[in-house]
Structure 1
Amino acid sequence: MNSAVAHPVAGPSCPVRVTSPAPRAVWRQLASVDENTLASQTPTWLDCICATGPFEDASRLYEFEGGRRLVVPLARRRGWPAWLVGEDSWPSDWGIGGPLVSPGTPDETEARVVFDDLARRPALRVGVRFGPGADPVWARAAPQSFGAEEHMTQVLDLDGGFGTVWDRRFHGRVRRAVRRAERSAIKVEVDRTGRLVPAFYHLYEQSMVRWARQQHEPLALARWRQTRSFPRQRLEAVADRFGESCAIYLAWCAGEPAAAIVVLRHGDHAKYWRGAMNRDLAHPVRANFLLHHLAVEDACEAGCRYYHLGDSRPGSSLAHFKDGFGAESRSTPAFLRERLPVSAADRRLRSAVKRLLRFEDA
């Protein structure tokens, strides 16, 4: 791990001390008291990123004169000159990062100091993806040098407990699907030790074939993309480091693994992270509905206030599936500062390749 370096930063009537990488003890303390913290904003998540990819800790701790402390989780590629790499929260495919704050919420001056400090970083790109609980002060404070990218994630409110969620938030079609699954010959296993990682990844590899077919994508390309964005060692690292806070729900049908989901838990939040299935087995018996039903019930019993179902394209079948559980779309914006327009160039290249392949987003 990098040695922490602290230095004062002069803000507009707002002196602040910045330490990078952020001391782990402070980061963990903030993660325990900031009620908006997700599992993907913890130092454990960064450990998984660094253990399974060429990244290192670039997090920053801001200590303001009034006593407020704020950590921005960041990772950067190891071994490259700063001007060639990004500092991101998080790198592609690692999900939502964003600041952790205590006590209270930063005012606009403090938020602007953070953005100004990040804007001065020598990195080619600095990007921060905020969670659904982020205060609007961040959007107001973002300078013009940071472009905004709008993202939406779907979140189920667990207020009132599982009885209320089942009766008032689950749509009738979801309740019917769950009852159908319960009448079927499905056996559900829940693992919090990592023992079911091989079974999950077997289903994930089967899913790659289905996704390739749906998207009109060459199978070899689909396998290369999916294993690169989500290699088995990533799931192994998360299961190992999060321990009981990482649960794999696996539905067996006719002695075969039919569907599985991975759910992470931290504080008030349970987060559906990954899913995979053998559609021929899972769909007729509505296995995925049952798995999420059980995960939501477990989250309620654990005292969680929210169940995060992640991003999905508006109007897609996946968004419709999540809507059925009563999940509401919430803004999770990303703010990006680039010295060169590499993201725009990357999007244009991806779009061109998709047109060439006649790729269709599922």
Structure 2
Amino acid sequence: MNPTEPAVATPAGPVQVTTPAPREVWWDLAGRDPDLAVTQTPTWLDCLCATGPHRDASRLYTFPGGGRIVLPLVSRGRRPRRLDAEESWPAGWGIGGPVASAGVGPDEARAVCEDLARRPALRVGLRLRPQGAELWGRAARGLLRLEPHTTQAIDLDGGFGTVWRDRFHQRVRRDVKRAEKAHLDVEVDRSGRLVPVFQELYDRSIERWAVQQHEPRALARLRRRREFPEERLAAVAARFGAACSLWAAWDRGEPAAALVVLRHGPHAKFWRAAMDRDVAHPVRATPLLYRLAVEDACAQGCRVFDLGESAPGSSLEHFKAGFGAVSRPSPRYWRERLPVSAAERGLRTAVKRAIRFQDA
């Protein structure tokens, strides 16, 4: 039985809050939310809790007229409440934010943001998807601080023929054709069998990033493995099952590149990529895998292919734009009772200066 908190008076009327949100309600709303992201599903929360020090703190808001909103949320389960962090989602886990079937108005959005701002946790955070971000941003104004973020996605309407012809840039089509002439061996795995191949390529990527960023290899391995521990991909593959596609390419038997795509309903999401640049780049293995993954998403009936976050003006944004990805705001709103994040940023900056770190 999920505990229900006392009703809260809001401009939308008395709101009943249940936490954790009942899964059957969450899945029901997820099935009727036309813009639901893969990372807003209970499956994603389960992956997060299985591979980190988090627990389910999701909240169901029930309004007088019968409207319901689920806010995906996790907390750091072992901390005292006043030292806790309640976020939707933590850094590195992508877009969270409210899930609703339809018809969320300003009063309902404001009620959710007021509840989040009142939470006793040291830090609260809310990462929004592009759809509806303006409404929720107005609701959060004066309660939570804005942190801009940008997400890029490919519109798949019209099918792959349209995407290839009208949205892929000429240079990307050229790279794909070059890869096809190289006769690479490509495989897609929906069972988790190729997880070790991805991990091998990810380890090689860490080595490359360390050199690029002038970072000691031991520190790079420690930092990257903390961000993405080895067991995380296996956990995601196991929980998503056939909805987790791991694409891999080999050149003459040598692993070249791999990427992971997740899917829920009409929404496909690129999640992770890794490569051995010395093997992959000459034969353009990575563009080929993206092309195949996008074509597969179209065949699965997806309407959007989410390529994730990129810094405006970055080389990564330019790379994704080559596949027709369009940038849209997906802001984060947050509040802290003590300036913990500022202290963490200051410490990271000092360490970067000490090792002459160079952001890629």
Q: TM-score range by the shorter chain?
A: over 0.9
Partner of 1:283, secondary structure, is: helix
Which amino acid letter does the alignment assign opposite residue 251 of structure 2?
A: C
2:205 aligned with 1:210: no
TM-score w.r.t. the length of structure 1 is 0.97
Cα-to-partner distance string for 1:278-327 (whole Å, 9 max, x where unaligned): 00110000001000000000111111111111112233322221110010
Give the Cα separation in 2 of the matches to 1:197 and 1:107: 43
Which amino acid letter does the alignment assign opposite residue 16 of structure 1?
A: V
Q: Which residue of the partner structure matches residue 174 of structure 2?
A: 176
Q: Which residue of the partner structure matches residue 25 of structure 2?
A: 26
Give the Cα separation in 2 of the matches to 1:81 and 1:31: 31
**Contact conserved, 2:2 with 2:22, CA < 8 A, in 1?**
no
Q: How far does residue 105 in structure 1 lie from its aligned partner after superposition?
A: 3.3
RMSD of the alignment, in Å?
A: 1.2
**Contact conserved, 1:112 with 1:143, CA < 8 A, in 2?**
no
**Correspondence 1:159-198 to 2 at 5 A:** 159-198=157-196
**Contact conserved, 2:114 with 2:143, CA < 8 A, in 1?**
no
Which amino acid letter does the alignment assign opposite residue 295 of structure 1?
A: A
Q: Which residue of the partner structure matches residue 237 of structure 1?
A: 235
Give the Cα separation in 1 of the matches to 2:27 and 2:226: 29
**Contact conserved, 2:201 with 2:274, CA < 8 A, in 1?**
yes
**Correspondence 1:231-310 to 2 at 5 A:** 231-310=229-308
| Residue of 322, 325, 328 corresponding to 2:326 | 328
**Contact conserved, 2:168 with 2:322, CA < 8 A, in 1?**
yes
Q: Which residue of the partner structure matches residue 53 of structure 1?
A: 52
Give the Cα separation in 2 of the matches to 1:283 and 1:273: 20
Q: How far does residue 126 in structure 1 lie from its aligned partner after superposition?
A: 0.7
Q: How far does residue 244 in structure 1 lie from its aligned partner after superposition?
A: 0.6
Q: Which residue of the partner structure matches residue 130 of structure 2?
A: 132
Question: Unmatched 5+ residue regions in structure 2?
Answer: none
2:126 aligned with 1:122: no
Question: Unmatched 5+ residue regions in structure 1?
Answer: none
Cα-to-partner distance string for 1:120-163 (whole Å, 9 max, x where unaligned): 11100110101122342101111323000000011111111111
Give the Cα separation in 2 of the matches to 1:256 and 1:153: 33
Which amino acid letter does the alignment assign opposite residue 149 of structure 1?
A: E
Q: Which residue of the partner structure matches residue 354 of structure 1?
A: 352
Give the Cα separation in 1 of the matches to 2:118 and 2:3: 18
| Residue of 140, 147, 150 corresponding to 1:149 | 147
Q: Which residue of the partner structure matches residue 63 of structure 2?
A: 64
Counting matched residue pairs gives 360
TM-score w.r.t. the length of structure 2 is 0.98
Give the Cα separation in 2 of the matches to 1:121 and 1:37: 25
Which amino acid letter does the alignment assign opposite residue 303 of structure 2?
A: R
Partner of 1:136, secondary structure, is: helix
Give the Cα separation in 1 of the matches to 2:2 and 2:50: 18
Q: How far does residue 69 in structure 1 lie from its aligned partner after superposition?
A: 0.8
Partner of 1:173, secondary structure, is: helix
| Residue of 222, 225, 232 corresponding to 2:223 | 225
Of 12-21 and 47-56, more deviation after overlay is shown by 12-21
**Contact conserved, 1:309 with 1:327, CA < 8 A, in 2?**
yes
Q: Which residue of the partner structure matches residue 313 of structure 1?
A: 311
Q: Which residue of the partner structure matches residue 10 of structure 2?
A: 11
Partner of 1:315, secondary structure, is: coil
Percent identical pairs in the alignment equals: 61
**Contact conserved, 1:264 with 1:270, CA < 8 A, in 2?**
yes
Which amino acid letter does the alignment assign opposite residue 263 of structure 1?
A: V
Distance 1:15 1:167, change over 3 A: same
Give the Cα separation in 2 of the matches to 1:29 and 1:4: 19
Give the Cα separation in 1 of the matches to 2:352 and 2:151: 24
